[in-house]
Each structure stands twice: as C-alpha cells, then as structure tokens.
Amino acid sequence: MYFPEGNWVVSTALTIPSKSVRIIGAGIDVCKIKFTGTTGGFIFNLSGDNAVQSATDAGHEATVSDLTLHTTNAGGVNNIALKFNGAFSAGLVDPSVAVDRVHFQGQTTTAYWYYHIYLKDCPHSKITNCLLDGQYVSSGAQAQGTEAGIYVTSTASSNGVPY
C-alpha cells in the first residue's frame, strides 16, 4: 500500500490480514496518516501459512516506512499506532517486522498513542530511524505521549516489557 504526499484521515484502526505487506508513504512528515477514531493505527495479523517466510525469502513479512502516524484521541488501550501480532511456531521461519523512517505523534497534550509499536510473538523485528513523540506522566497530569513507546510481549510470557 502506497500513500502519496498529503494528509490522509482514517476514522478507525485498519486490520491487515495474514499476508506479507508493505505500507510505504512518500516521506516522513510529508505523508501524514491521521487516525481520528477512538481506536486507531494499523493491526497486522502475521499468522497462517501466507505470513511465514520461505527459507529463501530475505524480505520482511510486514514493512512500514516513510510516513507519519498521527492520532487525535487520548490513548486508550486500543489506540496503538502499529500492532504486530505474530504467531511464532517452532520449526517455522519467524514472522519478521521492519519499521523505518516513521514519526509517531499525538495532536495535543490529551491526544496520544497508547503504544507506538506493539510486538507480540515477533522475535525478528527491525526498528530504525523512528521518532516516538511523547512522555506519559503517571501523576494524573497528561503530557503529549504514550504509555510505552515500544511494547514487546509473547504468548510465552506473563507480561510484556515496555521500552
């Protein structure tokens, strides 16, 4: 999916089925995808045979690059900019994720992503050249920010690790 230069308004989260996919914009801060609903972002379901790399494929199963992901809502638990749900199975090549040149931002001090990047069962991931705007203030005051910039978890763990 290619997003040319401009501002794109989306009212709800976009779910990508278990296929290899690339979401590419015309450039960071040149291509802005603005999510306006109470849930937002891209949800990638990297499970099933179509999402497993072949032994000869050096590409990533999900690639997101060269764009800005913007939210206009407070970061409820379903307001995640990029959510990758892998389905690692022993003996299969792991799902892989690449995120490069992406700017994550909120609209105001009360509009922010809950997580910028959420990785579940995605042991092979590459995140480079990204700007994660924000700081979560737990004292009751809310600054433009996030609960966690990058959240990593797996079905084999009892809880995830925020970064």
Can you read off the two tokens belonging to residue 159?
């809880």
Listed by start position, the domains of the chain span 2-162
pLDDT mean values, one per 10 residues, the chain (163 residues): 95 84 94 90 76 50 92 83 79 75 80 88 87 63 67 72 60
- Specify the pLDDT at position 124: 80
- Specify the pLDDT at position 134: 62
- Specify the pLDDT at position 128: 94
- Specify the pLDDT at position 112: 82
Distance of CA 25 to CAs 35, 58, 63, 68, 131, Å? 15, 22, 11, 8, 15
- Specify the pLDDT at position 52: 47
- Specify the pLDDT at position 10: 94
The dihedral sign for the CA sequence 142, 36, 67, 102 = positive
Question: What phi-psi label fits residue 48: left (phi over 0), alpha (psi between -120 and 50 degrees) or beta?
Answer: left
DSSP letter for each residue of 32-78: EEEE-SSSEEEEEEE-SGGGSPPTT--S-SEEEEEEEEEE-S---TT
User: Which residue in this structure is represented by tokens 């230069």?
Assistant: 5
- Specify the pLDDT at position 50: 45
